[in-house]
Amino acid sequence: MKLLELHTRSLELAAAVVDTVQPEQLVLATPCAGWPLRRLLEHVVGQHRGFAAAALGAGADLARWRDVPVHGDPAGAFRRSAEQLTAAFATAAVAAEPAPLHLPEIGDGGPFPLDRAVGFHLLDTLVHAWDVASALGSPARLVAAVEAEPPLVGALLTVAGAVPAAAGARGPGRAFAAVRAEPDGTGPFARALALLGRDPSWSAAARPAPEGADRTDFAKSR
């Protein structure tokens, strides 16, 4: 399967998770510390639009990367922006000479070749889908679906393994926490989470997350 097809599949699986979000659940805590589900989803939709803009040559404009309100229709906002992104990546892929993408929220901003940008977003899509599923208390179905498709989970592990792991690139104030030790019996999705410093066993707290607190953001560095 080509990377663009795997990316499209990642969006399909993520959309299926977001489809289950009810308006009253938008206050739930997520693995992105301090970010309730609403803010996480607004970030995700903003990233869809930012990557789409980058694929069409406008990624250097920081305004294109702003979080986008989802109001009471997170599934609709997710799917519409995902369709825009899929179309933008497809347009870039058929260009005679695909232009490198500027991604100002990743590392030094690039420019990055299209395949790397697609890989970055595939990682974000699957991990943030796990964030949403974990907030809802049901990540197992998503994990099983991804692991049932070896090319997809393989792509996730490849990109996760390429994230810089040096001490200076991880920790407080950085995009990723330190790499975690893998628990016994860990599957490939959990290994990817551990590589990114995530706790595969995270479960939602019983109280809403406060607005505006710090969190680990997958869009800040690679």
CATH code for the domain in which residue 23 is found: 1.20.120.450
The model carries a pTM of: 0.89
Q: Is residue 15 assigned to a domain?
A: yes
Q: Is residue 201 assigned to a domain?
A: no
- When divided into structural domains, the chain yields a total of 1
Structure confidence by residue, pLDDT tens digits, 14-36: 999 999 999 999 999 999 888 99
Q: What is the pLDDT of residue 1?
A: 58
Q: What's the DSSP call for residue 179?
A: P
> What tokens does 145 get?
């679906």
Residue numbers of the domain that contains 81:
3-195
- pLDDT above 80: residue 215: no
Q: What is the pLDDT of residue 111?
A: 92
Q: Is residue 49 assigned to a domain?
A: yes
Vertex 211 angle, CA 118 and 18, to 5°: 45
Structure confidence by residue, pLDDT tens digits, 66-107: 999 998 899 999 999 999 999 999 999 999 887 889 998 887
Q: Is residue 50 assigned to a domain?
A: yes
